[in-house]
Structure 1
Amino acid sequence: MLKKFYKFFIFPYTIFLLYLMFFGMGRYQYDENVIRIEPVFSTLNFIENTIRWWDIIRIVLGNVIMFIPFGFLGCAFPQLKDLKSTVMVFVSAIVIVEGLQYFTRLGIFEIDDIILNTFGVYLGYKIRTFFELRFKNSVV
């Protein structure tokens, strides 16, 4: 039952996230292609230069929290049962999305986004394995 719900949920959720990543939250097309490849420094610089804490929480934590559901991919797709497979598939997909943001100029290719998004998937995977161990008799 939960597997069917997850399979039904994850596709529209993915479309929603793609919308946010390319068009949502006041995005506009940049005049030039932008890439930020210094891990952690661009996020620290963003935090340092942002006045409102709400913006910091929304952007930084949002990049983690919004990707937690992808840590549950192994529930519905047995080939993604282990962490390594889940992370490899996810990182491949998110690099493509970040690349599309760069080439369309509808976003910025940021290494920190890849790191934060992948951390969200990792947290989701850990939550999933916790529930699988906790409720062994029921199907998660």
Structure 2
Amino acid sequence: MLKKFYKIIIVPYTLFLLYLMFFGMGRRQMDDHLLTVAPIVSTVNFIKGCISWKDAFMIVAGNIVMFMPFGFLGWLFPKLNNLQDLLFAFVSAITIVEALQYFSRMGIFEVDDVILNTFGVFLGFLIKKNIEKRFGYFVK
């Protein structure tokens, strides 16, 4: 039952997330291509420059939580029940999305986004495994 719900909701959710990443929250095309490749540095600088700790927490946590559903992709693609395969596929996909943001100038290619989003997928994978272990009968 849970897998059926996931299969129905993941495509619209993915499209919604892509919308947010390229057009949401008042995004406009930037004048320049922007790139940040120093891990953690841009997130720390962002937090320092943030208006409030609440805003900083919401954005950093959002970069993790919004990607947790992709940790469940093994329910759609059995090969992705393996953590290594899931993370390889996800890092490849999110790197392409970040590159598209860079080349379209509709966002910034940020290594920290790749790291935080991937951590979200990892947490989602752990939650999926825990759900399957505890509620296997409910997952089908």
TM-score range, shorter chain: over 0.9
Say which SS state the counterpart of residue 92 (structure 2) adopts: helix
Check conservation: 2:131, 2:139, Cα contact below 8 A: no
- For 1:3, the equivalent position in structure 2 comes to 3
Check conservation: 1:43, 1:112, Cα contact below 8 A: yes
Q: Deviations over 1:45-95 (max 9, x none)?
A: 000111222321221110000000000001221111111111111111000
- Per the alignment, do residues 34 and 62 of structure 1 end up closer, same or farther by CA in structure 2, a change over 3 Å counting? same
Give the C-alpha shift of residue 128 in structure 1.
0.4
Rounded to whole Å, the distance in 2 between the matches of 1:23 and 1:112 is 20
TM-score, normalisation: structure 1? 0.95
Say which SS state the counterpart of residue 101 (structure 2) adopts: helix
- For 2:32, the equivalent position in structure 1 comes to 32
Task: Trace 1:84-123 onto structure 2 (pairs within 5 A).
Answer: 84-123=84-123
Rounded to whole Å, the distance in 2 between the matches of 1:137 and 1:20 is 35
Check conservation: 1:31, 1:105, Cα contact below 8 A: yes
Identity over aligned pairs, percent? 59
Runs of 4+ in 1 over 4 A off after TM superposition: none
Unpaired runs of at least 5, structure 1 = none
Rounded to whole Å, the distance in 1 between the matches of 2:43 and 2:69 is 23
- For 1:55, the equivalent position in structure 2 comes to 55
Say which SS state the counterpart of residue 51 (structure 1) adopts: coil
Check conservation: 2:68, 2:124, Cα contact below 8 A: yes
Rounded to whole Å, the distance in 1 between the matches of 2:43 and 2:101 is 18
Cα RMSD, aligned residues only: 1.1
Say which SS state the counterpart of residue 106 (structure 1) adopts: coil
Counterpart residue identity of residue 107, structure 1: G
Counterpart residue identity of residue 20, structure 2: L
TM-score, normalisation: structure 2? 0.95
* Equivalent pairs, count: 140
Counterpart residue identity of residue 78, structure 2: P
